[in-house]
Structure 1
Amino acid sequence: MLASKQFVGLSINYFWYFGILGLVVPFLSVFLDARGFTSLEIGEILAVITAAKIVAPSLWAQLADKSGKQLIIVRVGALLTLICFSLIIWAYSYWPLMFSLAMFSLFMTSILPQLEVMTLNSIRKSAKIYGRIRLWGSIGFIIVAMLSGELIERYSAEAFSYIGIVILVGLCISTLLSKQPRIANKVTLDNVSIKTKVFNTNFLLFFFAGLMLQMSFGPYYVFFALYLQNLAYSGFLIGLFIAIGVVAEIGIFVFAALFFKSFSLKTLICMSILLTSLRWFVVGHFADSDMALAFSQLMHALSFGLYHSASIAFIQRHFNTNQQSRGQAIYIGGVYGVGGAVGAYVAGILWQDGIGAVITFDFAAITALIGGILALFLRNKPIIERAIN
């Protein structure tokens, strides 16, 4: 049984970590647009800060796997993230702002893989407890997204900077109050090289399917809030629609164990990616309808929530305990880093200040469809109890 203090500490860390994402993911493009950047420049900036995820997680993960001290890395990462983000208050031109945000992303990406490993070590990889802890990240995302939309509309896009600083201060404080979990059995596993695991055919299929999925998220992460703003939705409604997606995501995390008992891992991954393709088609062609937009956001439960849980399960099953941080880092760096950067850059080219919105989301739909087809070739193995169940 996870001690209540440890449960609360981990939950608060997720709350603040995903809280900053609840600000940055929907509203960074709004902030950059208000500072006069073009859609191409916004796409370039988002691509560069996303590309920071390619290298950084692996560097931090090697240190974490060797030392076993994930919490120290989380604390240092949180402090440096706060410092770098604060620089955007004074950075108005293209290169200084890109540098500040790239460094922010570089240190931000050091946090989540270690936080995931700490959590899974603490809960003995129980899907039920993981879902309860992880949902506090979703709650943080919702609260920040809704409040930020209102505050930015009421005061100006510059409120973005100050909201972010408050959240990151909260993250720094929460990491200082956390404790490094004890691992009952020190690593005494086989010495199979991580390269063998990485270049395994099944892992490569999983990796490239995820890569295509994250590419498809490029237009959503970069331009979704601006897209709705151009369709005359208010700041509050933009935050509300984003919150709908995260509420649906919470439902998946709460009931994740039921999905894992009822479906194979391959089925969950395929279903998540293929339905994401439908989601982007709906966003691109029917976003002027409140009902269609709400429906597409409810699908976030599958395209993010269910896929995230399934991917964590896959990685936990595929890599040994002494390879977990590196496995997470390779996944985040490659899939989220490369996939996210390419998706953001292509979205910036296709968007054309809103004229190419439909084409951009069609690109997302086709990309996710390709990812779903790749996932169909995964080997269908039963879910091993120690993975996340």
Structure 2
Amino acid sequence: MHIKNFTRLSNSYFWYFSVLGLAIPFLAIFLEGRGFNSLQMGEILAVFTATKIIGPTFWAFMADKTGKKLPFIQLGATLSLVCFSVLFFVDGYWPILTILALFSLFWTGMQPQMEVLTLGAMRKSTKFYARIRLWGSVGFIVFALASGEVIGYFGSDSFIAIGFVILVGLWLSTLWLNETNCRTSFVNVNSRIIHKFLTANFILFFISGLLFQLSFGPYYSFFALYLRDLTYPSYAVGMFVSLAVVAEIVIFIVAGRLFKRFDAKNLLVLSIAITAARWFIMAYFGDNGIMLAISQLAHAASFGLYHSASMQFIQNHFNPNQQNRAQAVYVSGMYGIGGAIGAYLAGVYWMDGLGAQQTFIYAGYVALFASIIAFLMSNKKAPM
């Protein structure tokens, strides 16, 4: 892979996942600072996540139809920046919900195109994909730590200013990208992909993944508030989240070796089962710093290993000209539907912190069930 392509793609991943480094730990802090209760926050976060159902699917269809990905990545970065900037000027439940939903609609639509652009540029090398993707984890860490300090000093509304800086960086990084060696030849976009979606193996993969993402509801929605209620200091949020992503980086570095020894199905089952244990640890031992650190290290499996194994499954299951649509279903179905339901249910059961432990226990059982479903998958590769 050419060094310029590697650098440009890594730069875009850095800024794209820096958004998550801000949003996952601190969006709930921002919303609470605007006076919303846990049920309202759960509703806003559910809508914010549900936009993944629409954006990635529509843009993937357009990318497959035109054979181009980069214009949609650049358009998404531009519209994301414009929408997020409106937060400087609005307040209230409905305006904030609407702006966050529009921002997420355009921002999440970028990811499937970035994944396919990257996979094409590196000629499907798991090793290079992992090394590029880890720069997204680096961006997450940098802004999780920095945002915690800035918000602690300037207050929850500084969330908007930090997000604006990140999105300017993302927009500039997309202008530097190119689509050399990443464009697939034009093929009829209706090329029998429905048969791939309706196979038993994909259905099991999809249901398991949807439940798996649902189980993240309390973590993605209320982790910062959970630590605050357990009397951890304000800087602990950034530290624990960063610890999780450091573990994720390690997995991305060694992922290539794991795929030489284990198939995607077994790695999916392992990663989901570890995640179930993670939620139980957070429920029963969240007030113990060492046990909480161990649960955060499990993020190596919860995200790094699971995501890499999912990419491997999708690459093996779908034809090259079907990759955009497959990535869109992966993001919109599992992360969109599963994440939205998880965020909403977390808001219902959280009860402003009174139901925190029980919510994480429920999440653990959901993840455990997801691992059983993944275990039922076949190891056989789908026919092309």
> Scaled by the length of structure 1, what TM-score is found?
0.96
Unaligned runs of 5+ in 1: none
> 3-state SS of the aligned residue for 1:272?
helix
Q: Equivalent residue for 2:203?
A: 204
* Partner Cα separation in structure 2 for residue 243 and residue 174 of structure 1: 23
Q: Cα distance 1:174–1:366, how it changes in 2: closer, same or farther (>3 A)?
A: same
Q: Which amino acid aligns with 2:45?
A: L
Superposition deviation, residue 319 in structure 1: 1.0
Q: Which amino acid aligns with 2:117?
A: M
Q: Would you say 1:280 and 2:263 are equivalent positions?
A: no
Q: Cα distance 1:280–1:32, how it changes in 2: closer, same or farther (>3 A)?
A: same
Q: Equivalent residue for 1:270?
A: 269
* Partner Cα separation in structure 1 for residue 234 and residue 128 of structure 2: 34
Match runs of 1:108-123 below 5 Å: 108-123=107-122
* Partner Cα separation in structure 2 for residue 115 and residue 265 of structure 1: 22
* Partner Cα separation in structure 1 for residue 275 and residue 83 of structure 2: 33
How many percent identity over aligned positions? 52
Q: Equivalent residue for 1:372?
A: 371
Q: Which amino acid aligns with 2:227?
A: L
Q: Cα distance 1:201–1:230, how it changes in 2: closer, same or farther (>3 A)?
A: same
* Partner Cα separation in structure 2 for residue 368 and residue 254 of structure 1: 25
Q: Equivalent residue for 1:194?
A: 193
- Between 178-187 and 100-109, report the one with greater CA deviation: 178-187
Q: Equivalent residue for 1:182?
A: 181
1:217-236 deviation per Cα after TM superposition (whole angstroms, max 9, x unaligned) = 01000000111111122222
* Partner Cα separation in structure 2 for residue 286 and residue 25 of structure 1: 21
Q: Equivalent residue for 1:312?
A: 311
Match runs of 1:83-232 below 5 Å: 83-183=82-182, 186=185, 192-232=191-231
The answer to whether the 8 A contact 1:152-1:158 is kept is: yes
> 3-state SS of the aligned residue for 1:233?
coil
* Partner Cα separation in structure 2 for residue 248 and residue 44 of structure 1: 30
Q: Equivalent residue for 2:352?
A: 353
Superposition deviation, residue 184 in structure 1: 7.7
Q: Cα distance 1:139–1:159, how it changes in 2: closer, same or farther (>3 A)?
A: same
Superposition deviation, residue 116 in structure 1: 0.4
1:14-57 deviation per Cα after TM superposition (whole angstroms, max 9, x unaligned) = 00000011001110001101111000000000001111111111
* Partner Cα separation in structure 1 for residue 310 and residue 381 of structure 2: 14
* Partner Cα separation in structure 2 for residue 188 and residue 163 of structure 1: 42
1:290-345 deviation per Cα after TM superposition (whole angstroms, max 9, x unaligned) = 10000000000001100000001111111111111011001111100000000000
The answer to whether the 8 A contact 1:152-1:235 is kept is: no
Match runs of 1:4-19 below 5 Å: 4-19=3-18
Q: Which amino acid aligns with 1:114?
A: Q
The answer to whether the 8 A contact 1:189-1:320 is kept is: no
> 3-state SS of the aligned residue for 1:255?
helix
* Partner Cα separation in structure 2 for residue 74 and residue 102 of structure 1: 18
- Between 129-138 and 230-239, report the one with greater CA deviation: 230-239
* Partner Cα separation in structure 1 for residue 305 and residue 89 of structure 2: 39
Q: Which amino acid aligns with 2:42?
A: G
Superposition deviation, residue 191 in structure 1: 7.3
Superposition deviation, residue 183 in structure 1: 4.2
Q: Would you say 1:50 and 2:65 are equivalent positions?
A: no
Q: Which amino acid aligns with 2:224?
A: A
1:252-305 deviation per Cα after TM superposition (whole angstroms, max 9, x unaligned) = 000001110111211100000111000000011111111000000000000110
Q: Which amino acid aligns with 1:327?
A: A
Q: Which amino acid aligns with 2:178?
A: K
Q: Cα distance 1:326–1:190, how it changes in 2: closer, same or farther (>3 A)?
A: closer
The answer to whether the 8 A contact 2:250-2:300 is kept is: yes
Q: Equivalent residue for 1:238?
A: 237
The answer to whether the 8 A contact 2:285-2:292 is kept is: yes
Structure 1 segments, 4+ long, off by >3 Å, are: 187-192
Q: Which amino acid aligns with 2:162?
A: I
